[in-house]
Structure 1
Amino acid sequence: MEDSIREALDARSVVRKHNGLYVVDRKKVFIKTNSSEHARLLCDGEARSLEAIHDTNTVKCPKVIKVFESSKGTWNLICDYIDMEDESAAHKEKLGEEMAKLHSINPSLLKREQEKASGDFIGEEKREGERRFGFVVPTSCGVIPQNNEWCDDWRTFFIRCRLKDRVDGIIQKYGDHELSSQWSQLERRADDLLRETDSVVPSLIHGDLWAGNWGVSKENPVVFDPCSSYSDPEFEGGIQNMFGGFGAPYTRGYDRILPPRRGWNDRRFLYLLYHNLNHWLHFGGGGYRATSLSLINSILHPDIDSD
């Protein structure tokens, strides 16, 4: 591996430390290696996601150095190494603020373009906003590719490229008749619940921001392992209450900049469902199947008040 890194980076010295940490010409780098079926897609998708987040100058993330193949079918993503510190409630609140700023960048760019077209914008903005939902390359939330086909509205993108894509994958892989029988109802209900999002413009999201995909460096929150897309920013919240979540400090920081929109309490079950379906597809039935079917039942037969 050291020889492959030396060749890829045109380096003189490569020293392997531990857990993906290498020292290349006296500089620490972190290398993620993947040899799964979709290894190149996974590395390319994560690299493009990190680059997109980095370019917003909002929340900190590792800087991409290179994607390269070290042996046939084995792909690697090289990033700057970031030393991490202990997290606190204050860091979670700051993470919430910075994620809200990340989600605000593309809408701000689109607003400036509109103002510029009308003659109301004073100044110069070289970056252009993205008007569609999707992403420049496929990504993977796990090891199974996500469909990031560009769509003109969030409702179409979420139902076709997120929800149906995972439902179809589960039915094909596991032949689950109960899930199959519920799809037509779920599709209609999702379409109805998402009608209030038709005026939403795309935001760049991390895509897999759970408690294990962030840390702190020099008092600044750091996010990593993204699978980004231009989506409704609410979708980011779908996984944030799984595996421990972030709690009130994150929500407090986020809501200061982007308060929750009307209907969020209903839509959040759809976004939580996607991530449970994704884990069901990856790891099989059991708990994820039970939770997914329970969520579908709650979506089809709501027993909570809409806000």
Structure 2
Amino acid sequence: MKVIHEVVPAFAPKPIAHGTYETEPCTYFFLCEFREMLQSMPDVHKFAMGLAELHQSSRSPTGIFGFHMPTYSGNLPQQTEWNTSWEALFTENLRMALDHEIKAKGYDPEFDVLVPAVFGRVIPRLLRPLESDGRSIKPSLVHGDLWYANSGTDVNTSSPIIFDACCFYAHNEYEFGQWRPACNKFGAEYLDTYHTYVKKSEPEEDYDGRLDLYKLRFNTHVSALFPQNGQLREQMLGDMRDLVQRYA
């Protein structure tokens, strides 16, 4: 949150302190400035402009993808070790999420077919073109868990706010994998407005496929977070089946 606030101060509450409890060393706290918020969805244009500024103005300190420490979505870590290749980092990131999911819910026989196809065919098909044939993508600071409940609108300034991040330097479009699941409230108008500030990456014809691949990453991690919810496992398998049918 400190890194996000440094890039776009008006877009995130100012962090004040963090640490562990003296009497409970495995209990942690995070303190930031109080911002009273409206419960309605943030203004489309202001929100899209703020997110575009976060992605475009941020600079990876190493010039590559990753983060200087593991970041967590819920109570589970995600893979953020520095990597020169977005395809390679995303592959490791998704594999860690899948390992969490299998640990939480057990192995499914469909994985024998789907997992090799996703990692061996789908990911290279959709992500390798981003960094080949003279193309490249910038490592952008992403929020990393930007669903509607991690955003709001400041009552006093009417400015949009984002919080509860698990950020790292990634392909900027990775952010929108979290906007694909059914629970999302960021409609097409948010995405369309964002792309008036930031163009879709080339090859543009793979755009929908890339976002569906990124959706698989988020749905896999969410399924791991809720071991008793079998519907989330089926949602993840459905994502895999769809991607394999289209790209493998």
Deviation for aligned residue 1:179: 4.9
Could you say what the CA RMSD is over the residues aligned between the two structures, in angstroms?
1.9
Aligned match of 2:224: 281
Matched letter for residue 230 of structure 2: G
Matching of residue 83 in structure 1 with residue 36 in structure 2: yes
| 8 Å Cα contact 1:94-1:250 kept in structure 2 | no
Matched letter for residue 210 of structure 1: W
Aligned match of 1:123: none
> What are the residue-to-residue correspondences of 1:13-92 with 2, within 5 Å?
50-57=1-8, 60-70=11-21, 71-72=23-24, 73-87=26-40, 91-92=43-44
Separation (CA, whole Å) in 2 of partners of 1:51 and 1:179: 41
| 8 Å Cα contact 1:51-1:63 kept in structure 2 | yes
Deviation for aligned residue 1:282: 1.0
Deviation for aligned residue 1:180: 3.3
Separation (CA, whole Å) in 1 of partners of 2:51 and 2:10: 6
Separation (CA, whole Å) in 1 of partners of 2:9 and 2:210: 26
| 8 Å Cα contact 1:53-1:61 kept in structure 2 | yes
Matched letter for residue 94 of structure 1: K
Normalization by structure 1: what TM-score?
Answer: 0.71
Separation (CA, whole Å) in 1 of partners of 2:233 and 2:96: 16
Aligned match of 1:272: 215
CA deviations 1:12-50 (Å, max 9, x no partner) are xxxxxxxxxxxxxxxxxxxxxxxxxxxxxxxxxxxxxx1
Q: 1:192 to 1:248 in 2, by over 3 A?
A: closer
> What are the residue-to-residue correspondences of 1:147-226 with 2, within 5 Å?
147-160=79-92, 162-181=93-112, 182-188=114-120, 189-198=122-131, 199-217=136-154, 218-226=157-165
Separation (CA, whole Å) in 2 of partners of 1:133 and 1:193: 17
Deviation for aligned residue 1:235: 0.3
Separation (CA, whole Å) in 2 of partners of 1:136 and 1:103: 18
Matched letter for residue 289 of structure 1: R
Q: Aligned to 1:251, what secondary structure does the other structure show?
A: helix
- Which moved further from structure 2: 175-184 or 142-151? 175-184
> What are the residue-to-residue correspondences of 1:228-247 with 2, within 5 Å?
228-242=167-181, 243-247=183-187
CA deviations 1:250-296 (Å, max 9, x no partner) are 12331111122311111111110111111111112511111111110
Separation (CA, whole Å) in 2 of partners of 1:136 and 1:65: 20
Q: 1:272 to 1:168 in 2, by over 3 A?
A: same
Unaligned runs of 5+ in 2: none
CA deviations 1:205-260 (Å, max 9, x no partner) are 00000010111111100000000000000100011233232113312331111122
Unaligned runs of 5+ in 1: 1-49, 110-127
Kindly tell me the number of residue pairs found equivalent between the two proteins.
Answer: 232
Separation (CA, whole Å) in 2 of partners of 1:268 and 1:86: 27
Normalization by structure 2: what TM-score?
Answer: 0.87
Separation (CA, whole Å) in 2 of partners of 1:222 and 1:232: 21
Matched letter for residue 148 of structure 1: T
Deviation for aligned residue 1:88: 5.4
Separation (CA, whole Å) in 2 of partners of 1:92 and 1:178: 43
Aligned match of 1:250: 190
| 8 Å Cα contact 2:180-2:211 kept in structure 1 | no
Deviation for aligned residue 1:96: 1.1
Deviation for aligned residue 1:59: 5.2
| 8 Å Cα contact 2:70-2:79 kept in structure 1 | yes
Q: Aligned to 1:204, what secondary structure does the other structure show?
A: strand
Q: Aligned to 2:161, what secondary structure does the other structure show?
A: strand
Q: Aligned to 1:302, what secondary structure does the other structure show?
A: helix
